[in-house]
Structure 1
Amino acid sequence: MEIKNNPVGRLHDILFNAYNYRDADVTQRVWESVLDAPVGDAGVLLKRLSEVIALKDQAKQAIIDGIEGDQSLYLAPFPKIDQIFARVDLSSGWSNSKQFLNEATLNALAFGNHALSTKHGTCNLTSEQVIDFIEKLDHLLRDCLSSNLPEALQKLFQKNLESLRQALICYKISGAEGLQNEIDRTIGAMSRYSSELLDQTDETSQGFMKSVFELIGNINNSIQLTETALKLAGPAVIALLPLVQSLCK
């Protein structure tokens, strides 16, 4: 499944998914499933919901900034969408929130997505690839624990690989820009330890680090935009090139 690069498209897909749940379902369970939040972890779920609310605001602004002429059709769904998040009761039945979702609301968002799609470009990263990347990160996190890296470097990789994993989980909300920001932050954090990383001569540790940087590179390449939008490749990606080249010799 394609994950839209423009915020209106991502908002549409999230709400369309939620719309398909039964009225009798519990609101917390619906949002946990739609937003891939751990079951029973209200803290994570509320954080994800706050990110969806921010996405809603981004989507509205994208319409105002990006669609010329009469915008009333494209902006019409937002008062009802605001109602969904105005009083979120996680313990209530989903019907309390779903009453503000209907086909007209979703269709208007679909029109907005179509109108903005050429301005925001598309990414090659699909939801299936996101799952594959998350599985590879899980594997690398396990490898990190069994590596011969010093404890400080193990913690460095654990922290940043987990942060990147969480960014992938939230990709359906934040899109390519959010994931690119996390990649840049991750590489920036690691670049501060480049001399310590270059000092590692153990083959197991070098193999692990090479796998990490290859995976980060693959994720970065997968979110480069096509069509008319600007590429998102951040300058931090080149910060570790000397280290990557050393490991690939």
Structure 2
Amino acid sequence: MDETENPIKDLCEILENILEHSSGDSCLNAWASALDFKSTNMYQAVTALAGVISLVERCEAAAQHIPGDRELFLKPLKRVKDMIINLNLNSPWHSSSSYLDAATIAGLKYGIYAIDQFYPGAQPEKSSAIKDYVAKIDALLEELLQSDLPDEVKDLFSRHLHALSVALTSIRINGIENLEATLDSIYGSLYRRSESINEASPGNERIIKKFMEIVGHANELASGWENASALLTYSAPLLLPLIKTVV
């Protein structure tokens, strides 16, 4: 089964785990047990708790995709935030666990269902399309590094493929805005370097064309999330007019 992106589910699993901890033990030990870090290592503790805060923020961003009254989903997330803001690691765990009452946990579980219904990144077929596309990028990157392209062009393409992979991965969390900005940057860079790419084209047409097709299909994704299935096959590359010798 394809992995899907449901940050509220991830958060709920952490909280249900920590609620099983002894109420009389310290908050530090409770979080250490739930997040799997050593309670004697404060760097690990701070890093792990920062990860929880980041997860809550991802939940809030995902909740924006849910139609209707979002307070139903944002209110329990605010309770979790308040718990962390007021956290005293030396206090007994029950001083924090009171934030996670039955209503808060029930609200989070309802949020899990809502995210599965409305959040693009939580839909298996869309997650699968992104996963397959990122795999294509990784494969092309390996092929690119073994190619005979000049180092300047090889480095340029490699940086753009890495940026594209990161943007496509984050689309399941933050939507298409970062992908659109990444593509704008790539287009501008390729246009400015078109002369160098043209000079490198003889003998390297195939690898350059595959790169342009990868970028062109990412543009299809940015133009409409519903077209994600189109990413699984190649079509006419958007950027080939810039690279005359590859047409």
TM-score (norm 1): 0.59
- Output the CA distance in 2 between the equivalents of 1:124 and 1:181: 25
Contact 2:149 2:200 in 1 (8 A): yes
Cα gap change, 1:74/1:54 in structure 2, threshold over 3 Å: closer, same or farther?
closer
- Output the CA distance in 2 between the equivalents of 1:156 and 1:128: 28
| 2:205 paired with 1:209 | no
Q: Select 2:35's aligned residue among 23, 26, 48.
A: 26
- Output the CA distance in 2 between the equivalents of 1:210 and 1:85: 50
- Which residue matches 2:11? 15
Contact 1:16 1:106 in 2 (8 A): yes
- Output the CA distance in 1 between the equivalents of 2:56 and 2:218: 26
Aligned length: 208
- Output the CA distance in 1 between the equivalents of 2:15 and 2:185: 35
Shift of residue 188, structure 1, vs aligned partner: 2.5
- Which residue matches 1:82? 81
Residue segments in structure 1 that go unaligned for 5+ positions in a row:
5-9, 29-39, 89-95, 228-237
- Output the CA distance in 1 between the equivalents of 2:245 and 2:86: 54
Contact 2:216 2:239 in 1 (8 A): no
Shift of residue 142, structure 1, vs aligned partner: 1.5
The SS at the match of 1:147 is coil
- Output the CA distance in 1 between the equivalents of 2:68 and 2:238: 37
1:11-64: per-residue Cα shift (whole Å, max 9, x none)? 435535656878745346xxxxxxxxxxx9x99x9997776455345456677x
Contact 1:148 1:202 in 2 (8 A): no
| 2:109 paired with 1:107 | yes
Bigger radius of gyration: 2
Letter in 2 for 1:26: L
Contact 2:212 2:238 in 1 (8 A): no
- Output the CA distance in 1 between the equivalents of 2:49 and 2:206: 38
TM-score (norm 2): 0.59
- Output the CA distance in 1 between the equivalents of 2:54 and 2:166: 13
Residue segments in structure 2 that go unaligned for 5+ positions in a row:
21-32, 38-43, 88-95, 228-236
- Which residue matches 1:167? 167
- Output the CA distance in 1 between the equivalents of 2:163 and 2:112: 31
Contact 1:74 1:111 in 2 (8 A): no
Identical amino acids, percent of aligned pairs: 22
- Which residue matches 2:27? none
Contact 1:3 1:175 in 2 (8 A): no
Letter in 1 for 2:202: D
1:77-101: per-residue Cα shift (whole Å, max 9, x none)? 122332576489xxxxxxx99x859
- Which residue matches 1:136? 136
Letter in 2 for 1:221: E
Computed over aligned residues only, the root mean square deviation of the Cα atoms, in angstroms, reads 4.6
1:101-152: per-residue Cα shift (whole Å, max 9, x none)? 964132342476489x49x9x9996222222222222222122222222211
Shift of residue 208, structure 1, vs aligned partner: 0.9
Superposition pairs for residues 209-228 of structure 1, below 5 Å?
209-223=208-222, 224-226=224-226
- Output the CA distance in 1 between the equivalents of 2:79 and 2:188: 41
The SS at the match of 1:135 is helix
- Output the CA distance in 1 between the equivalents of 2:51 and 2:240: 34
Q: Select 2:58's aligned residue among 38, 52, 55.
A: 55
Shift of residue 207, structure 1, vs aligned partner: 1.0
Shift of residue 156, structure 1, vs aligned partner: 0.7
